[in-house]
């Protein structure tokens, strides 16, 4: 037997197999020594310790006699017979009690098995076998693999270890095998719970935690019903399995339940919680909840030493348990629609709730407009105005009332009436005022919707209605952003608890712009509490400062756009500029919001905004420059497409001299381009042409807007979020259809040019089995592996599984393996056992109504761009820039630098692929095994 045959079970020091009598013990010892080639390390009367005598040995195998095993020969034989199916319907990585060996000489093993008439099975094919399964004489499953560290996180050939298979049937159910796995590095039992108000995305968070915990070799548990479940213990704490969280990405609310639990706010409640966690053997607790829940988690953490001491002193736990549970390893993933936690830009659920509110206000707009009415819309947020502010911004509401920026009753009433009157005098037929549930005046008296309505009726004589949105705001499936945030936070939380030592401060997982971050939980809780304290002590300035910096920026922008007095702009005459905006490339969600924000902000500052219609070709052929009339753009925030028109024509493709002529004619002093890769190329051409045309020697800013997200200089382009949401809805529907049909897989073809961004994120948020992207291409080997995996999962479902399967494919992933060809190959390979169809959403991916994220980011980017133009000195190099988000920062990068050093022109892409980690996570969470050389290296 090959000497490099070594046990593969990660992190274990030895395995014990039990035989029921001497005869089966002898057979088993013979099997592992003579056939497998293990050596005897220690031998006793009724047990033997075997090992592999090469330095790579990490695990020994112990075989013992246990006469209490009440298992009949007949059952063992039956189980051995059953093992024939293993490999076809199940993967050994999903069966805890499999014994795995790595070997480079699998052919020899097969030949030995053949000659000794040992039952075995080869996967995936006889020509190039990667893995062989066999049954040992005790009925346990033994697998031989050629893959290096096939069980490990850093597997060389396979990057994942799990498949989506049903629970192990044969070995566990039969109790033939009692396999003890004793870890060298202790395996963690990680519990997750959801707490406080439910929030869309909590299920995605639990799913990610459960699956990445399993992936990391840990045991996941769920604490049901929030802190109530923790206080009650027992059945409220349950082990979770891979399949338990299948389909959870789509589900709203929280499937493990949540609660607001009084008992936990008292020490006796926390004492029972502590005991219950210890009894269940939990080593780490991940709490997904809002500011209250994480405050509770922090109290629990800080009290833990005294709680376990009390339990020890009362005799409720043994000293051994006391010693073992000295430290509570706790981590927060922030889930709340309120977005009121400090140290993170967004909480799980906040953007879904914002989406519900924006849709509702869009609907209300139509009826308000029809009757020329006013509506007071009350939104949630007990102590935080984020939802009110962002929805006001995204729907261009007339006025908002939030707890962080209160004024006296007289002030807010006067200001609101003045703004509403001004808007009405400019021709607006509707009035929308958004009131946060927790809105207050500066004497801390609450401002109710009724108060607001009374002012609108009594002072302005407006026909006014109140709409309280209520719990609709917490309903429904999570938006794409929340699925992504919840999933990445979950993966990071598991990573964080595994890395935590008793000296590391307990972490909270948050996000800063585009980067998942870890922050000390205690610090985040302290900061959050200080916001409430600042409001209570009427120090509103401090409350604003303590909120995330984007919050004050959004508020400033909202006020600037809405309260602008066009007759009294803020800037002195000499600083006012003529600024033009143009859309270039394919339509993308948020383009209109950018134009709206740019124009209204310009008006407030005293700049003159111009729109260039129908791109550069429109300008060159029809002199399509227009000045902007406020009332004509008032509803642009909620419109998809591009109201000013957009196309792919580059300046060089028309007459660049003519373009310069019009720039000069209108005396543009700044230009904002909103668009994708063509806009990027256009900016470079204009910048380059500055030598010949002085008209282009003005500050120019590109706001990336393309669903392909392929503009160098940014990790986020307007339109991506809208696209992902459309795609997510589409995939959910298609997946539901596949699930209903039981045995069907859909190959979904997505756009994105040569960029695999959209395909990758679509896989992540819809739970697709795989995504094929242009950066990687499609290898036949990988496709074969994916089909094998599908075959396995359909076989394990036996035609009854509700899991629908999706494969996401970028349209440019392969010239040969087209969507149809892939579907045909799957059909062929499925051999009648399952079915394959194609689904092509096409231009639906461009969106429709823009998402709340694209609307608010469009506004933020546009105002930043105007500010850049306002402040730019005329340094030629640094005044033609791309405004982008890179990891945790918003930044302006000169087009020259990006074009010359960071662009793959032929591929129309940025040079680096920054979403490789996401690809890995998306694969891990569906149990996809991936060939190593498939990582997206360009």
Ligand X SMILES: Nc1ncnc2c1ncn2[C@@H]1O[C@H](COP(=O)(O)OP(=O)(O)OP(=O)(O)O)[C@@H](O)[C@H]1O
Ligand Y SMILES: O=P(O)(O)OC[C@H]1O[C@](O)(CO)[C@@H](O)[C@@H]1O
State the Rg of the chain over Cα.
31
Instruction: Report the Cα 315 to chain-centroid distance in Å.
Output: 44
Measure the CA–CA gap between 341 and 511, rounded to whole angstroms. 11
Per-residue H/E/C for 197-217: CCCCCHHHHHHHHHHHHHHCC
Residue 29 or 285: the one with the smaller Cβ distance to ligand X is 285
- Nearer to ligand Y by Cβ, of 256 and 591: the residue is 256
Helix (H, G, I), strand (E, B) or coil at 609: strand
Of 415, 418, 422, 429, the C-alpha closest to 375 is 429
Going from the C-alpha of 3 to that of each of 15, 56, 105, 144, the distances in angstroms are 20, 10, 9, 13
Query: Cβ-count burial of 688 within 10 angstroms (0-12 exposed, 13-18 middle, 19+ buried)?
Result: middle
Applying CB under 5 A, the site for Mg ion has a residue count of 3
The binder of 59, among ligand Y, Mg ion, ligand X, none, by C-beta within 5 to 8 A per type, is none
Is 286 assigned to a binding site?
no
Region of 170-178, 374-382, 837-845, 850-858 interacting with ligand Y (CB under 6 A): 374-382
Is the CB of residue 702 less than 8 Å from the CB of residue 881? yes
The reply to whether 336 sits near ligand Y by the rule CB under 6 A is yes
Residue 908 in marked binding region:
yes
Interstrand relation of 237-239 and 219-223 (parallel, antiparallel or unpaired):
antiparallel
Query: Is 338 assigned a catalytic role?
Result: yes
Counting contacts by CB under 6 A, is residue 292 touching ligand X? Answer: yes
Least Cβ distance, residue 264 to ligand Y (angstroms): 15
CA distance 697 to 876: 7
Is residue 200 involved in binding ligand Y (CB under 6 A)?
no
Distance from C-alpha of 181 to C-alpha of 141, rounded to nearest angstrom: 15
24 annotated ligand binder? no
Q: Residue 344 carries which DSSP code?
A: -
Is 264 near ligand X (CB under 6 A)? Answer: yes
Cβ closest to ligand X, residue 260 vs residue 515? 260
Task: Choose among ligand X, ligand Y, Mg ion, none what residue 261 binds, the Cβ cut-off being 5 to 8 Å by kind.
Answer: ligand X
Choose the binding region for ligand Y from 223-231, 330-338, 483-491, 582-590 (rule: CB under 6 A).
330-338
Q: Which stretch binds ligand Y (CB under 6 A): 200-208, 234-242, 378-386, 711-719?
A: 378-386
Q: Which stretch binds ligand Y (CB under 6 A): 97-105, 379-387, 794-802, 917-925?
A: 379-387
Binder of ligand X out of 296, 392, 768, 927 (CB under 6 A) = 296
Q: Is 471 annotated as a binding residue?
A: yes
Provide the minimum distance between the beta carbon of 201 and ligand Y in the complex, in angstroms, as a whole number: 13
Q: Tell the smallest beta-carbon distance from residue 251 to ligand X (Å).
A: 18
Nearer to ligand Y among residue 261 and residue 770 (C-beta): 261
Q: How far is the CB of 532 from ligand Y (least distance, A)?
A: 14
Residues 6+ positions from 694 with CB-CB distance below 8 Å? 664
Catalytic residue selected from 338, 451, 548, 786? 338
Q: Quote the CA–CA distance of 864 and 635 in Å, as a whole number.
A: 21
Ligand-binding annotation for 234, yes or no, is no
d(CA 124, CA 112): 19
Q: Of 218, 380, 773, 918, which lies in the binding site for ligand Y, with binding defined by CB under 6 A? A: 380
- Contacts with ligand Y in 137-196 (CB under 6 A)? 196
d(CA 155, CA 148): 6
Looking at residues 657 to 686 of the shown chain, list those that interact with ligand X (rule: CB under 6 A): none
- For ligand X, the closer of residues 198 and 283 by Cβ is 198
In degrees and rounded to multiples of 5, residue 800 shows phi and psi of -115, -5
Residues 226 to 255 in contact with ligand X, rule: CB under 6 A:
227
For 2, residues 6+ apart whose C-beta sits below 8 A from its C-beta are: 37, 103, 104, 105, 108, 109
Q: Which is nearer to ligand Y, 196 or 884 (CB)?
A: 196
Specify the pairing of strand 744-750 against strand 805-810. Answer: parallel
Which three-class secondary structure state does DSSP give residue 318? Answer: coil
What single string gives the DSSP state of each residue in 872-905? ----SGGGEEEEEEETTEEEEEEHHHHHHHSEET
> What is the Cα–Cα distance from 512 to 811, expressed in whole angstroms?
32
**Cα separations (Å) of 157 from 105, 212, 328, 396?**
16, 19, 36, 52
Distance CA 525, CA 232 (A): 25
Q: Which is nearer to ligand X, 509 or 586 (CB)?
A: 509
**Residue with tokens 């030629």, as numbered in its chain:** 876
Helix H or strand E encompassing 541 = helix 540-546
Is residue 474 part of an annotated ligand binding site? yes
Contact partner at residue 412 from ligand Y, Mg ion, ligand X, none, CB < 5 to 8 Å by partner kind: none
Residue with tokens 């346990």: 140
| Residue among 189 and 353 whose Cβ is closer to ligand Y | 353
Instruction: Choose from ligand X, ligand Y, Mg ion, none: what does 289 bind? Cβ within 5-8 Å by kind.
Output: ligand X
- Is residue 771 within the footprint of ligand X (CB under 6 A)? no
Residue 437 site contact among ligand X, Mg ion, ligand Y, none (CB < 5 to 8 Å, cut-off depends on kind): ligand Y
Q: Which stretch binds Mg ion (CB under 5 A): 55-63, 282-290, 686-694, 832-840?
A: 282-290
Considering only 205-213, 295-303, 320-328, 363-371, which stretch makes contact with ligand X by CB under 6 A? 295-303
Select 196 or 774, whichever has its Cβ closest to ligand Y. 196
Residue 897, token pair as written in the block: 């630098």
DSSP 698-763: S-EEEEEB-TT---TT-S--BTHHHHHHHHHHHHHHHHHHHHHHSSEEEEEEE--TT--HHHHHHH
Dist CA 159 CA 149 (whole Å):
10
Quick note: the x/- pattern for ligand Y over 396-435, rule CB under 6 A, is ----------------------------------------
**CB of residue 471 to Mg ion, shortest distance in Å:** 15
Q: Are strands 507-512 and 515-520 parallel, antiparallel or unpaired?
A: antiparallel
Residue nearest to ligand Y as judged by C-beta position: 197
Residue the block writes with tokens 């009692």: 178
Q: Single out the residue of 7, 168, 197, 253 in contact with ligand Y (rule: CB under 6 A).
A: 197
Q: Pick from 168, 226, 290, 704 the residue near Mg ion by CB under 5 A.
A: 290
* Interaction residues for ligand X, span 167-226 (CB under 6 A): 195-197
The pair of three-digit structure tokens given for residue 672, joined into one six-digit string? 């904002």
- Nearer to ligand X (CB atom), residue 384 or residue 608: 384
Q: Which stretch binds ligand X (CB under 6 A): 287-295, 783-791, 871-879, 892-900?
A: 287-295
User: Is 827 in a helix, a strand, or coil?
Assistant: helix
Among 90, 189, 203, 293, binds ligand X (CB under 6 A): 293
Q: Which of 139, 146, 148, 147 is nearest to 179 (CA)?
A: 139
The item of ligand X, ligand Y, Mg ion, none sharing an interface with residue 381, based on CB under 5 to 8 Å by kind, is ligand Y
869 is in an annotated binding site: no
Give the pair of three-digit tokens for residue 663: 């720039």
Site for ligand Y in 254-283 (CB under 6 A): 260
CA distance linking residue 151 with residue 697, whole number of Å: 59
Assess 550 for contact with ligand X (CB under 6 A): no
Exactly one of 91, 338, 854, 923 binds ligand X (CB under 6 A); that residue is 338
Q: Which residues line the annotated binding site for substrate?
A: 336-338, 373, 380-382, 437, 465, 471-474
Q: Which residues bind Mg ion (CB under 5 A)?
A: 290-292
Q: Which residues line the annotated binding site for beta-D-fructose 2,6-bisphosphate?
A: 648, 706-710, 744, 751-753, 837, 843-846, 908
Q: Which residues line the annotated binding site for ATP?
A: 197, 260-261, 290-293
Q: Which residues line the annotated binding site?
A: 197, 260-261, 290-293, 336-338, 373, 380-382, 437, 465, 471-474, 648, 706-710, 744, 751-753, 837, 843-846, 908
Q: Which residues are catalytic?
A: 338
Q: Which residues line the annotated binding site for Mg(2+)?
A: 291
Q: Which residues bind ligand X (CB under 6 A)?
A: 195-197, 227, 260-261, 264-265, 289-293, 295-296, 299, 336, 338
């Amino acid at each position: 037997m090959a000497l490099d045959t070594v046990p593969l079970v990660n992190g274990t020091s030895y395995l014990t197999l039990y035989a029921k009598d001497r005869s089966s013990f002898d057979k088993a010892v013979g099997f592992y020594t003579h056939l497998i080639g293990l050596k005897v390390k220690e031998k006793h009367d009724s047990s033997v310790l075997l090992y592999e005598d090469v330095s790579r040995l990490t695990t020994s195998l112990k075989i013992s006699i246990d006469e209490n095993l009440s298992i009949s020969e007949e059952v063992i034989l039956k189980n051995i017979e059953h093992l024939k199916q293993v490999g076809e319907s199940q993967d050994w990585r999903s069966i805890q009690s499999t014994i795995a060996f790595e070997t480079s000489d699998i052919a020899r093993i097969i030949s030995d098995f053949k000659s000794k008439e040992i039952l075995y099975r080869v996967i995936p094919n006889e020509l190039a076998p990667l893995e062989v399964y066999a049954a040992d004489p005790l009925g346990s499953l033994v697998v031989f693999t050629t893959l290096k560290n096939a069980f490990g996180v850093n597997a060389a050939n396979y990057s994942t270890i799990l498949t989506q298979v049903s629970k192990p049937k044969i070995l566990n159910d039969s109790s033939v095998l009692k396999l003890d796995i004793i870890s060298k590095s202790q395996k963690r039992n990680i519990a997750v719970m959801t707490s406080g108000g439910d929030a869309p995305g909590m299920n995605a968070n639990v799913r990610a935690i459960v699956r990445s915990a399993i992936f990391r070799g840990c045991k996941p548990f769920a604490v049901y019903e929030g802190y109530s479940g923790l206080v009650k213990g027992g059945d409220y704490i349950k082990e979770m399995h891979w399949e338990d969280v299948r389909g959870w990405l789509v589900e709203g609310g929280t499937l493990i339940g949540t609660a607001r639990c009084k008992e936990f706010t008292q020490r006796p409640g926390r004492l029972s919680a502590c005991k219950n966690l210890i009894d269940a053997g939990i080593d780490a607790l991940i709490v997904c909840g809002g500011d209250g829940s994480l405050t509770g988690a922090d109290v629990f953490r800080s009290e833990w030493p005294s709680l376990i001491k009390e339990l020890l002193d009362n005799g409720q736990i043994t000293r051994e348990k006391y010693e073992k549970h000295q430290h509570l390893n706790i981590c927060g993933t922030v889930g709340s629609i309120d977005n009121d936690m400090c140290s993170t830009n967004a909480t799980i659920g906040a953007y879904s709730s914002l989406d519900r509110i924006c849709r509702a206000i869009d609907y209300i707009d139509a009826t308000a407009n029809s009757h020329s009415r006013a509506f007071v819309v009350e939104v949630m947020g007990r102590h935080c105005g984020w939802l009110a502010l962002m929805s006001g911004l995204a729907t261009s509401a007339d006025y908002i009332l939030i707890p962080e920026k209160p004024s006296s009753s007289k002030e807010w009433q006067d200001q609101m009436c003045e703004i509403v009157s001004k808007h009405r005098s400019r021709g607006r037929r509707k009035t929308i005022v958004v009131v946060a549930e927790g809105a207050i005046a500066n004497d801390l008296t609450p401002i109710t919707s009724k108060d607001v309505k009374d002012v609108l009726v009594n002072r302005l004589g407006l026909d006014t209605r109140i709409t309280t949105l209520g719990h609709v705001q917490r309903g429904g499936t999570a938006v794409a952003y929340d699925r992504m945030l919840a999933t990445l936070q979950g993966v990071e939380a598991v990573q964080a608890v595994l890395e935590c030592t008793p000296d590391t401060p307990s972490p909270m997982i948050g996000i800063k712009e585009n980067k998942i971050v870890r922050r000390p939980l205690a610090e985040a809780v302290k900061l959050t509490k200080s916001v409430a304290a600042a409001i209570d002590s009427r120090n509103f300035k401090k409350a604003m400062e303590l909120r995330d910096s984007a919050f004050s920026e959004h508020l400033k922008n909202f006020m600037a756009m809405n309260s602008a007095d066009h007759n009294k702009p803020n800037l002195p005459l000499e600083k006012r500029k003529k600024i033009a905006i143009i859309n270039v490339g394919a339509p993308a969600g948020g383009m209109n919001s950018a134009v709206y924000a740019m124009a209204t902000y310009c008006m407030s500052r005293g700049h003159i905004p111009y729109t260039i219609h129908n791109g550069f070709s429109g300008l060159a052929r029809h002199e399509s420059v227009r000045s902007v009339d406020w009332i004509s753009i008032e509803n642009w925030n909620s419109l998809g497409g591009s109201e000013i028109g957009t196309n792919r024509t580059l300046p060089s493709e028309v007459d660049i001299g003519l373009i310069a002529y019009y720039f000069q004619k209108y005396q543009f002093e700044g230009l904002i381009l909103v668009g994708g890769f063509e806009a990027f190329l256009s900016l470079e051409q204009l910048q380059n042409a500055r030598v010949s045309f002085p008209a282009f020697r003005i500050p120019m800013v590109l706001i990336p807007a393309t669903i392909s997200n392929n503009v160098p200089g940014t990790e986020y382009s307007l339109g991506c979020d809208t696209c992902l949401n459309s795609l997510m809805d589409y995939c959910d529907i298609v997946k539901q259809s596949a699930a209903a049909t039981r045995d069907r897989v859909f190959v979904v073809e997505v756009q994105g040019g040569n960029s695999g961004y959209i395909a990758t994120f679509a896989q992540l948020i819809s739970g697709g089995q795989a995504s094929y992207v242009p950066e990687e291409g499609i290898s036949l080997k990988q496709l074969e592996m994916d089909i094998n995996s599908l075959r396995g999962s359909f076989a394990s479902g036996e035609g009854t599984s509700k899991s629908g399967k999706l494969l996401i494919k970028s349209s440019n992933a392969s010239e040969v393996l087209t969507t149809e060809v892939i579907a045909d190959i799957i059909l062929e390979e499925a051999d009648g056992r399952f079915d394959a169809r194609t689904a092509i959403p096409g231009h639906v991916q461009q969106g429709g109504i823009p998402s709340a994220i694209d609307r608010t980011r469009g506004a933020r980017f546009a105002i930043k761009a105007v500010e850049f133009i306002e402040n730019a000195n005329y340094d030629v190099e640094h005044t033609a820039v791309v405004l982008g988000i890179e990891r945790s920062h918003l930044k302006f990068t000169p087009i020259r630098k990006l074009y010359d050093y960071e662009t793959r022109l032929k591929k129309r892409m940025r040079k680096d692929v920054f979403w490789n980690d996401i690809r890995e996570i998306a694969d891990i969470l569906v149990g996809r095994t991936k060939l190593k050389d498939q990582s997206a290296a360009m």
